Structure 1
């Protein structure tokens, strides 16, 4: 007699009733003046704090300092679009993060506040 054990890992599911567009435009700084001022005057600090609240490594945005195309900013923007189901292209993300980095970070922060979807990090260990 043989028995078969099947283990299925649950996959994260995100169901959103929100629109599949950004909640605010890239230059809608008036929506949250305090965040936009902080993002404009101290973008590296702002990006690090946002990245930590998004559930990633605090110092990850500091890697953007070494190039003209900002890979970490672009990756965060693409990740946010995928997580929230926002339509867009990598080309547009590259343009926004390269030409207007503070505005891009502020837009992502506004979107995260607007969606109110908590970030849950799950880890498991074999006992």
Structure 2
């Protein structure tokens, strides 16, 4: 008799499987893309963009300069930030400390997951991967002025200069 009740309960479960709404959990797709506290790409996804990976690998100061210019809304020049980073990196080996401050700014501005210790660890151990991740995040959010395909978006001036 218990086997018929047991079979009936399985048939009931199979007829109406639990949904994510029943459990008050978001679907796996929603958790992956709608969670505002996750970075858009992982720290180890450096090679997902080959050109960015190559530039950052051989000259991280260029990628860092682009990040600074995007985060500071153009108030800090890409060239000056890249130059300072290059001097700090190649003269003292401490350029990672300068770039670490911008990772923290990005994380706080976009309420991304992580903490100060994780930021420090990422830049000390794998600065180039961290810079690639930060630039990809800014590009994903449309802050860098280019699309995902690497095509520069030129701003359109509606009320141009009048002579």
- What do residues 95-122 of structure 1 show as CA deviations (whole Å, max 9, x unaligned)? 1101111111110000011122579xxx
Would the alpha carbon gap of residues 69 and 35 (structure 1) be closer, same or farther in structure 2, given more than 3 Å must change? closer
Tell me which of 12, 16, 22 is aligned to 2:39.
22
Aligned residues: 103
Identify which of structures 1 and 2 has the higher relative contact order when contacts are C-alpha pairs closer than 8 Å and 6+ apart: 1
CA RMSD, 1 decimal: 2.3
Mean Cα deviation higher: 39-48 or 104-113: 39-48
Q: Aligned partners of 2:51 and 2:93: how far apart in 1? A: 28
TM-score normalised by length of structure 2:
0.55
Q: Look up the match of 1:60.
A: 81
Q: Look up the match of 1:107.
A: 133
Runs of 4+ residues deviating >6 angstroms: none
Runs of 5+ in structure 2 lacking a partner?
A: 1-33, 146-163
Q: Aligned partners of 1:69 and 1:91: how far apart in 2? A: 17
Once the 2 structures are TM-superposed, how far is the Cα of residue 18 of structure 1 from its aligned partner?
5.5
Runs of 5+ in structure 1 lacking a partner?
A: 1-16, 120-127
Q: Aligned partners of 2:35 and 2:144: how far apart in 1? A: 15
Once the 2 structures are TM-superposed, how far is the Cα of residue 47 of structure 1 from its aligned partner?
1.3
Once the 2 structures are TM-superposed, how far is the Cα of residue 87 of structure 1 from its aligned partner?
1.6
Q: Look up the match of 1:31.
A: 48
